[in-house]
């Protein structure tokens, strides 16, 4: 591999939570990093304040050896077709942090390009914070198209620049990353968890219990359990909860999450695998997000949100945490 390929000139397109973390970590790892943003965009001021050269994406990618696409999924097709494909130099590397557009053929990369994926398994703030203290967040990586013969090394070099090699690097494919990521978000992390919490809250309130007590029991305390999961899996959770809670786990968990739930999860996965979900999501986006906005407003208007807002106002310790976690711009985290 040439010296140029060992230290590629990188353009990061997008400067949300992940984009900012990627750009800053890569720069601190010794890479020449340019940020591509549309003039006057909401994150341009932040990127310039962070000391980056900021150029319009079409200009920013022309001399780049590697272009990292860190914009929201639904703008990537237009970005690629109108900006990246006409302006990226021959033989460059196109990098994604999520494989949706490539896997579902919304983006057909030029044949001369290397195409890789590097996805840190954590939000941008954590990716940056762990790097700064000398550690790193694990990354998964994949190669979709290897024109140069060095695509794998480019992916590993980029992941190393993020700090991922300090933790763990796991090889995957665009298909596996995309389908498991979508499933995790929909069935467990976002869709599943929020629906479970709302149903639990409604069950208690409808039975006559105070909404404030219901909030604490089904939402607030969930963090304690999730932290234990995060630190040591189900084993650690079982070590730290009472025997009463353990017994309730064993006999009641399967009554709520049963074979029917798993069967419906398989239906969700099938819709992801055969492209139904992505087709519907693209159509929704192109229609102006009417259902998306309706669903979101229903969540925002749910009684648990009204009760939670009042209770959290009295949790003074949350104010500092919220400020520390505030991203520079919007970017997917799951």
The tens digit of pLDDT for each residue in 283-292 reads 999 999 999 9
Q: Predicted confidence band at 320 (pLDDT cuts at 50, 70, 90)?
A: low
Binding site annotation covers 180? Answer: no
**Residue 144 φ then ψ, to 5°:** -100, -40
Q: Tell me, what's the pLDDT at 6?
A: 61
Query: Does the annotation count 98 as an active-site position?
Result: yes
Q: Tell me, what's the pLDDT at 41?
A: 83
Q: Tell me, what's the pLDDT at 333?
A: 44
Binding site annotation covers 242? Answer: yes
Binding site annotation covers 3? Answer: no
Residue whose structure tokens are 């009472």: 242
The tens digit of pLDDT for each residue in 8-28 reads 999 999 999 999 999 999 999
Per the residue annotation, which of 22, 98, 220, 302 is the catalytic one?
Answer: 98
The tens digit of pLDDT for each residue in 190-226 reads 999 999 999 999 999 999 999 999 999 999 999 999 9
Domains of the chain: 10-173 (3.40.50.720), 184-324 (no CATH)
Per cent of the chain over pLDDT 90 is 92
Binding site annotation covers 217? Answer: yes
- Checking if the pLDDT of 331 tops 80, the result is no
d(CA 93, CA 80): 13
Two tokens, residue 269: 């996965």
Question: For residue 275, is it left (φ>0), alpha (ψ between -120 and 50) or beta?
Answer: left
The secondary structure of 126-161 as a DSSP string is: HHHHHHHTT----EEEEEEE-SSS-HHHHHHHHHHH
């Amino acid at each position: 591999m040439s010296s140029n390929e060992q230290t590629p000139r990188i353009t990061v397109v997008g400067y949300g939570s992940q984009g900012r973390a990627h750009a800053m970590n890569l720069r601190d790892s010794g890479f020449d990093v340019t940020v591509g943003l549309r003039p006057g965009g909401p994150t341009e001021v932040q990127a310039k304040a962070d000391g980056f050269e900021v150029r319009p994406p079409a200009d920013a990618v022309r001399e780049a050896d590697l272009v990292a696409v860190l914009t929201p999924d639904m703008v990537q097709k237009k970005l690629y077709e109108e900006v990246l494909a006409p302006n990226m130099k021959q033989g460059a590397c196109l990098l994604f942090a999520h494989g949706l557009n490539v896997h579902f053929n919304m983006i057909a990369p030029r044949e001369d390009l290397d195409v890789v994926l590097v996805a840190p398994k954590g939000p941008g703030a954590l990716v940056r914070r762990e790097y700064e203290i000398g550690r790193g967040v694990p990354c998964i990586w994949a190669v979709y198209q290897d024109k140069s013969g060095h695509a794998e090394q480019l992916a590993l070099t980029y992941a190393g620049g993020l700090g991922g090699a300090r933790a763990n690097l796991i090889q995957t494919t665009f298909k596996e990353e995309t389908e498991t990521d979508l499933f995790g978000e929909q069935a467990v992390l976002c869709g599943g968890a929020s629906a479970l919490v709302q149903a639990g809250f409604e069950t208690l309130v409808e039975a006559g219990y105070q909404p404030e007590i219901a909030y604490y029991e089904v939402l607030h305390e969930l963090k304690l359990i999730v932290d234990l999961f995060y630190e040591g899996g189900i084993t650690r959770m079982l070590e730290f909860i009472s025997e009463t809670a353990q017994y309730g786990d064993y006999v009641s968990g399967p009554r709520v999450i049963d074979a029917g739930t798993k069967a419906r999860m398989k239906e969700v996965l099938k819709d992801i695998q055969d492209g139904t979900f992505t087709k519907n999501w693209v159509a929704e986006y192109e229609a102006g997000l009417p259902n998306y906005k309706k669903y979101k407003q229903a969540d925002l208007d749910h009684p648990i949100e009204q009760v939670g807002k009042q209770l959290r106002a009295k949790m003074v310790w949350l104010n500092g945490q919220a400020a520390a976690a505030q991203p520079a711009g919007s970017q997917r985290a799951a």
